[in-house]
Amino acid sequence: MELKKSLQIINELGLHARSAAKIVGLAKAHQAKLYLKKGEKEVDGSSILSLLSLSCPQGTEVEARADGADAESLLQALTELFERKFDEGR
């Protein structure tokens, strides 16, 4: 099963090492493969380096794509993580 979802990075610091690490954590906890796309560039969501190289400051729109049996719960968890501002409080 492949699912896509648009997400916005709303935390103040944007996608940096700590937040990217949390995405990697989610991706590794699921069987489905995760990809994040910004503009034309799509990267492996389980690679912290690839995620960082997307360079996503606050306000960036990304498209998450999940491919695998638990794609739905992966995207659900990812959405919540983004909405919780990666638990950074701002």
- Catalytic residue IDs: 16
Distance of closest approach, residue 7 Cβ to another protein, in angstroms? 19
Supply 90's token pair.
Answer: 């701002």
Q: Which region among 32-40, 44-52, 62-70, 76-84 touches another protein (by CB under 8 A)?
A: 44-52
Q: Applying CB under 8 A, does 81 fall inside the site for another protein?
A: no
Q: What is the C-alpha to C-alpha distance for residues 40 and 84, in angstroms, rounded to an integer?
A: 26
Using alpha carbons, list the distances in angstroms from residue 71 to 1, 5, 35, 64, 81. 7, 11, 11, 10, 15
Residues that bind another protein (CB under 8 A): 14, 16-18, 21, 24, 44, 46-50, 52-53, 55, 57
